[in-house]
Amino acid sequence: AVQVLNQSLEAKRTELAAKEAAANEKLQQMVQDQQEAEKQRKQTSELRQEVEQQQGEIQRRQGEVSQELLEVEPAVQEAKLAVQNIKKSQLDEVRSMMNPPAGVKLTMEAICVMLFDVRKPTWDEIRKNIRREDFIPGILNFDTEAFKGDGGRVKAIASYVDDPDFTFDNINKSSKACGPLVKWVRAQHKFASILEKVAPLRKEVKDLQEAASESERRLVELSSLGEELEQKIASYKSEYAALISDTQAIKSEMKRVQEKVARSVSLLHNLIGEKERWEKQSSSFGSSIVTLVGDVLMSSAFLAYFGMFDQDARSTLLRRIFHFLNNVGLPAKEDLSFAEYLSKP
């Protein structure tokens, strides 16, 4: 039984060592991931601040762009509205002119450059373009960004805009249709100039937005990784707690087995001692049986007769009785202690 208990104890020691190693490994993983999580939390915080700064800079730059455009966009919208309000009869009047006033021809030349990129067109070419169905829609849906990028057209229109006769008040006297068109040409030219001026700002805003988008993407990625790490850490903590609980249970079981082994060993030692004592007593009892009658007779004689004699006489009488009993086949202990023998129950 003790051997079985010792084997069980050794198995528990092996199991405990494995559990403690696993617990230590989990602890190391947990510490490592906690350090990584803290690092990512710091990176996330720094990146979030960076995104906020980028967004603030974007808003500031966009405000500058908007402020610049705000100075010209109302004029463009006003010019578009004026073009929309051109009556068909007013436009037909221009179309029907065979030899238009100089201001009318100047205006329509500028329109042909703006819409169709036709330089110094003849009046017949101008009349042909005016009759196109997309003439007015082309004005209303004009792409100023594309115009801004066409340096040749911008330069050509600049020559019209710089002409002191190319004004709304001057041209509108000659044609109620051409007055709004002059206003539109001048507004679009100025709008294109402002767009060119703010182009670096708009590019900067675009670059900032792209950088902010990338930062936000990284922020989302870091946040996701952080959540995964937190989940792993929580799982490690749970597993670590379970392993610690298992090791405590194993230690408790080992203590119980050790106590049981100690009790068993103590019991075995006691049994061995009892066995030795019993064997000794048994041996002593065996020899006592052989001399039992002789010992009883000697003890009886001691009680009955020895009281009246002195020590020398007692010793002499005791030897005579001992030899007599041996001679008649009743052996007795020569060194029998009467006090001890007679005191036993």
CATH number of the domain located at residue range(s) 14-251 in this protein: 1.20.920.60
Q: Report which of residues 166 and 307 the model is more confident about.
A: 166
pLDDT reading at 53 higher than 70: yes
Least confident residue range of 3-17, 75-89, 281-295 = 281-295
Residue 226 CA, chain-centre distance (Å), reads 3
Segment 81-116, tens digit of pLDDT: 999 999 999 999 999 999 999 999 999 999 999 999
User: Which amino acid would we find at residue 340?
Assistant: E
With the CA atoms of 30, 33, 39 and 41 taken in that order, what torsion angle do they form, in degrees rounded to the nearest 10?
A: -90
- Predicted confidence at residue 25, as pLDDT, reads 85
Q: Where are the domains of the chain?
A: 14-251, 291-343
> What is the three-class DSSP state of 4?
helix
- Predicted confidence at residue 286, as pLDDT, reads 61
Segment 232-273, tens digit of pLDDT: 888 878 887 888 888 888 888 888 887 887 787 788 788 787
- Predicted confidence at residue 89, as pLDDT, reads 93
Give the mean pLDDT of the chain.
85
- Predicted confidence at residue 124, as pLDDT, reads 93
The whole-angstrom separation of Cα 129 and Cα 109 is 10
- Burial of residue 168 (number of CB atoms within 10 Å: 0-12, 13-18, 19+): middle
pLDDT reading at 6 higher than 80: no
Tokens of 119: 């330089």
